[in-house]
């Protein structure tokens, strides 16, 4: 039923699920939603969220032009905002510096993709100037007001983008993340902050902070929303020198978490909460929550991560300077004083120190790489604490640096991350945790993050709206790991199992097929079973193993004909990749279907018990 009351419109949630349901049910239209957006913005007053906005009439006209509900447009009628270091046609890009402003002819590809998917741009949001900061106070346009505590920082550099979503002004927003700018504001505003694998989203049309490290990020009310937006934005861009092709089978959508998993946390003596006991307790509670979801804690020596984090504002600050050198030379007085002090450090960096830092970074990455074989993800506090505005004013560089100890290393090490809310302290200020993993593990991280966010039982943003139950996550991933059913020599304890483990294979579960397969013995130096579909077959025992997708080709290279990879039907209606025997003459081959289990055949020494390909089970 249509909503006719303005007060009722003011109570609707802008999460994607609620908007889609309201549109489908005819409760409201895009014009009504955009009118409510404009009303909320007006009611918020001077919150310093916006640097520029589209004209109200243009927003309403675009909403009206959307026409009837379009199921083929995943973001149809969804209001969003963009950090003002990302180009949006029709609005100036300032990067938080009025003298830097220019008016782009076209939108950045990430913005264009969102608009093409039906989303409606509201405006450009405030930020730490040139995206240099994690506090959100380094802007000539003022400091966006944190909706939970106006005396505390909103987080940066994507300050306005985070506050806009948390305050219910838009459904989602774009930020950028080089050192944590898409995660720290998420923590301080009770939001999800998605920091993708580098190169997943185009950075064409983005004012660079550190061009080789920059990522466009997403602020959203839920993991499901963040992933839905990411799916629209993802895609290779040949015009972006740092864009990368995602691996075949990759998706940023959440994949179903394994029932039992391992997650890493920094060693207890390495955790730093800057004397904030409540922040420490909230992180302990998040770790316990992950345990209740089936996780086992693995303590990680975090020294290498911390060393890497310290490098970002060491030699790598030269890259920040390089991206703005011509402007800074022509406008030496145009920059915020604290930002200027940071960027000037880049002038003192020598080429020798830059190469030395790159070599050290490569060594750290190599040192850390084995960690990912032991854990499914790394869980860290998004920040060790939060700061009041006066505390940051008293020590702007030190307090900013404190907020980055759990974030600064992520892009340098080419990792993916997603920040989720984890609780509130006694005064009602939010805290969050971040899940981190190797590049292209975005969907895996999202699956665990979604479960953790739901288990926390928190409202969305600064609203009273409960987090909707996720509408089903993908049941089978093909990246970064693929599940394969094995039935013979690769089973646990069998001769070829060490080779499977050596490629990173991990046991997942024991299974049985539907009663539609036959099993014969293929002779050779190592006997193997040939599993073949058959109308008069039986249910066969097998095991599902998870293998790194990157190792799949190496694994297949060891599989000799007539075996090949195909789809196996399992009990319960599930399907899985598995080894199927090509059509071969079975005359003379021992048929062990009736045994139902290769291990039974091997344990019983049944090689001589067959006649004409059929087993004499009475002799076993």
- Give the active site residues: 83, 157, 181
- Structure tokens, 502: 């050596």
Is the separation of the CB atoms in 305 and 368 below 8 Å? Answer: yes
Kindly provide the b/e burial profile for residues 295-314, where b requires at least 16 CB atoms within 10 angstroms of the residue's own CB: beeeebebebbbebbebbbe
Identify each DSSP E strand in 267-319 by its residue range.
Answer: 295-300
CA atoms of 550 and 572, how far apart (whole Å): 29
C-alpha span between 414 and 41 (Å, rounded): 37
Instruction: Compute the distance between CA of residue 375 and CA of residue 468 in angstroms, rounded to an integer.
Output: 29
Q: Which two tokens stand for residue 421?
A: 């809310």
Tally of CB atoms within 10 A around 25: 10
Distance CA 102, CA 92 (A): 5
CA angle 448, 167, 195 (to 5 degrees): 35
Nearest residue to 174 (alpha-carbon basis) of 268, 286, 79: 79
Tokens representing 474 are 């993908």
- CA atoms of 179 and 175, how far apart (whole Å): 12
Q: Are the beta carbons of 534 and 516 closer than 8 angstroms?
A: yes
For residues 555 and 500, is the Cβ–Cβ distance under 8 A? yes
Chain CA centroid to CA 212, Å: 19
Nearest-angstrom CA–CA distance, 591 and 594: 8
Which burial class, exposed, middle or buried, applies to 540 when counting CB atoms under 10 A from its CB (0-12, 13-18, 19+)? buried
How far is the C-alpha of 327 from the C-alpha of 333, rounded, in Å?
A: 11
Q: How many residues in total does the chain contain?
A: 620
Q: At what angle do helices 223-233 and 442-456 cross, to 10 degrees?
A: 160
**Which structure tokens are listed for 615?**
């087993």
Three state DSSP letters for 124-142: EECCCHHHCCCCCCCCCCC
Strand partners, 177: 215
| Cis-peptide into 423, omega within 30 deg | no
DSSP state of 145: P
Contact 262, 451 (CB under 8 A): no
């Amino acid at each position: 039923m249509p909503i006719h009351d303005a007060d009722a419109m003011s109570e609707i949630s802008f999460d994607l699920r609620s908007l889609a349901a309201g549109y489908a049910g005819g409760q409201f239209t895009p014009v009504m939603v955009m009118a409510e957006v404009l009303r909320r913005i007006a009611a918020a007053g001077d919150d310093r969220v916006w640097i520029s906005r589209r004209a109200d009439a243009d927003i309403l006209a675009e909403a009206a032009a959307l026409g009837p509900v379009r199921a083929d447009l995943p973001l149809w009628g969804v209001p969003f905002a963009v950090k003002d270091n990302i180009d949006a046609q029709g609005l100036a890009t300032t990067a938080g510096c009025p003298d830097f402003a220019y008016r782009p002819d076209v939108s950045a590809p990430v913005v264009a993709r969102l608009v093409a998917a039906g989303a409606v741009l509201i405006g450009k949001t405030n930020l730490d100037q040139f995206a240099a900061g994690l506090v959100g106070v380094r802007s000539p346009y003022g400091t966006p007001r944190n909706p939970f505590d106006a005396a505390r920082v909103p987080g940066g550099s994507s300050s306005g983008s985070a506050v806009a979503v948390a305050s219910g002004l838009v459904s989602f927003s774009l930020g950028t993340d080089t050192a944590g700018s898409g995660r720290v504001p998420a923590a301080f505003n009770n939001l999800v902050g998605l920091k993708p694998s580098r190169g997943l989203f185009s950075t064409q049309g983005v004012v660079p902070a550190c061009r080789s490290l920059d990522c466009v990020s997403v602020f959203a009310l839920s993991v499901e929303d963040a992933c839905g937006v990411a799916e629209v934005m993802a895609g290779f861009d040949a015009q972006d020198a740092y864009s990368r092709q995602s691996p075949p089978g990759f998706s940023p959508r959440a994949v179903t978490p394994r029932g039992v998993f391992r997650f890493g946390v920094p060693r207890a003596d390495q955790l730093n909460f800057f004397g904030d006991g409540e922040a420490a307790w909230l992180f302990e509670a998040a770790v316990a929550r992950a345990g209740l979801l089936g996780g086992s804690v693995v303590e990680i020596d975090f020294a290498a991560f911390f060393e890497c984090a310290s490098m970002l504002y060491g030699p790598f600050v030269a890259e920040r300077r390089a991206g703005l050198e011509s402007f800074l030379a022509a406008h030496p007085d145009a920059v915020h004083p604290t930002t200027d002090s940071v960027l000037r450090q880049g002038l003192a960096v020598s080429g020798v120190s830059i190469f030395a830092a790159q070599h050290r970074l490569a060594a750290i990455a190599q040192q850390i790489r084995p960690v990912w074989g032991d854990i499914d993800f790394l869980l860290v506090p998004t920040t060790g604490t939060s700061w009041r505005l006066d505390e940051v004013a008293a020590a702007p560089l030190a307090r900013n640096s404190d907020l980055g100890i759990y974030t600064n290393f992520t892009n340098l090490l080419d990792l993916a991350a997603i920040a989720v809310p984890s609780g509130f302290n006694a005064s009602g200020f939010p805290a969050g945790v971040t899940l981190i993993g190797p590049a292209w593990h975005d969907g895996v991280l999202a699956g665990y993050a979604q479960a953790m966010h739901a288990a926390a039982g928190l409202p969305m943003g600064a609203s009273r709206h409960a987090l909707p139950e996720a509408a089903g996550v993908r049941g089978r991933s093909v990246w970064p790991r693929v599940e394969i059913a094995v039935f013979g020599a690769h089973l646990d304890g069998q001769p070829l199992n060490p080779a499977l483990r050596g490629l990173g294979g991990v046991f997942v579960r024991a299974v049985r097929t539907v009663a539609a397969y036959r099993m014969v013995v293929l002779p050779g130096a190592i006997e193997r079973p040939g599993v073949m579909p058959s109308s008069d077959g039986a249910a066969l025992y097998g095991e599902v193993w998870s293998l790194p997708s990157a190792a799949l080709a190496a694994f297949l290279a060891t599989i000799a004909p007539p075996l090949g990879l195909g789809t196996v039907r399992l009990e319960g209606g599930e399907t899985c990749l598995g080894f199927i025997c090509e059509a071969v003459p079975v005359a003379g081959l021992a048929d062990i279907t009736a045994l139902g289990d290769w291990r039974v055949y091997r344990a019983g020494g049944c090689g001589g018990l067959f006649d004409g390909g059929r087993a004499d089970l009475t002799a076993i």
